[in-house]
Amino acid sequence: MQKSGSSSSLGPGGLDLTQAFFRQIQRAAPPSPTKRHTKISVVGAGNVGMAIAQTILTQDVADELVLIDAKADKLRGEMLDLQHAAAFLPRTKIHASVDYELTFGSDLCIVTAGARQVPGESRLNLLHRNVALFKTIIPPLARYSPETILLIVSNPVDVLTYVAWKLSGFPSNRVIGSGTNLDSSRFRFLIADHLDVNAQDVQAYIVGEHGDSSVALWSSISVGGVPVLSFLEKQQIAYEKVTLEKIHKEVIDSAYEVISLKGYTSWAIGYSVANLARSILRDQRKVHPVSVVANGFYGIEGGDVFLSLPAQLGRGGVLGVTNVHLTDEEAHRLRDSAQTILEVQNQLGI
């Protein structure tokens, strides 16, 4: 499929009407070459990819949005559907193609493509199929946009972020997994719901694997600047650890519940990834729990491993990892989570 996108040309001769509609003012200078043009490419036009694209458009994160997918007809349909909403959206040029050349010069490449698990298939076999798929995705992205930042959303996100890092040859700060950014949002929502406060006033992180071995950092949770657990202890308010574990389990089970009800997740991950894109491209230097190279943090050893830690994000990608205090139990669970991921990675031979 050839490149598809917006055009100012009309009529059988392809007449460019721009010059006819607008006249230059006198003594005007040409547009400044320093003006930043932000380009995002999204690979995978499925439910997740399109939710991300739609949210990026409504939040005015990019000047240009490129959609890449193997299914040409569906891809063109999605592009046209978004273009037809142009009157209601910030101005963004939208293109679509099966050819990765269209991603040339992207500031951020978001990868959502992944193989679907078939009935009876093992998670390891599914992972091997996704690795094979990534071998067709990551190298062309790196070739056409050698200075881009890769943001991996496909699952299992921690292992596939490691795979993308290896295949791209990029420095580790420019390869990021969406990780537990959404898990932490679910965590904040559940805590806010229990305390009847706004989730934006809750500071709470889920770290480690985006999966069953994730770790809830209860020791550092605060609401409105007040550390929750230490406040309860000072006020001699009793709480049971099983209650805390139940909330964490709700976080882990949240995606499964949504999938069982509607067949897939899309909107929450769309907002989560658009939020990450904004922090990166607008150099907001916000802290997000995302999947990064974790070697050397909290005693994590044994090889290169990506898992989620609270990291500061900006125009250079990962600017650093925050020095969040962990209890001995939390640090131990985090190391166990890292080992879980490493055991899977070691079976890939990459």
Q: Return the number of other C-beta atoms located less than 10 Å from residue 3's C-beta.
A: 11
- The answer to whether 16 is annotated as binding is no
- The answer to whether 169 is annotated as binding is no
Task: Tell me the two tokens of residue 199.
Answer: 């989730």
- The answer to whether 114 is annotated as binding is no
- The answer to whether 107 is annotated as binding is no
Catalytic, out of 210, 248, 288, 325 = 210
- The answer to whether 49 is annotated as binding is yes
- The answer to whether 48 is annotated as binding is yes
Known catalytic residue at 332: no
Backbone dihedral angles phi then psi of residue 322, each to the nearest 5 degrees: -70, 150
Q: Does the bond joining 171 to the residue before it have cis omega, within 30 degrees of 0?
A: no
- The answer to whether 47 is annotated as binding is yes
- The answer to whether 5 is annotated as binding is no
Compute, in degrees rounded to 10, the torsion defined by CA atoms 152, 154, 159, 163. -60
C-alpha 110/C-alpha 41 separation (Å) is 6
- The answer to whether 153 is annotated as binding is yes
Mapping DSSP onto H, E and C, the string for the chain reads CCCECCCCEECCCCEECHHHHCCCCCCCCCCCCCCCCCEEEEECCCHHHHHHHHHHHHCCCCCEEEEECCCHHHHHHHHHHHHCCHHHCCCCEEEEECCHHHHCCCCEEEECCCCCCCCCCCHHHHHHHHHHHHHHHHHHHHHHCCCCEEEECCCCHHHHHHHHHHHHCCCHHHEEECCCHHHHHHHHHHHHHHHCCCHHHEECCEEECCCCCCEECHHHCEECCEEHHHHHHHCCCCCCHHHHHHHHHHHHHHHHHHHHHHCCCCHHHHHHHHHHHHHHHCCCCEEEEEEEECCCCCCCCCCCCEEEEEEEEECCEEEEECCCCCCHHHHHHHHHHHHHHHHHHCCCCC
Q: Annotated catalytic sites, by residue?
A: 210
Residues placed in the known binding site? 44-49, 69, 130, 153-155
Annotated binding site for NAD(+): 44-49, 69, 130, 153-155
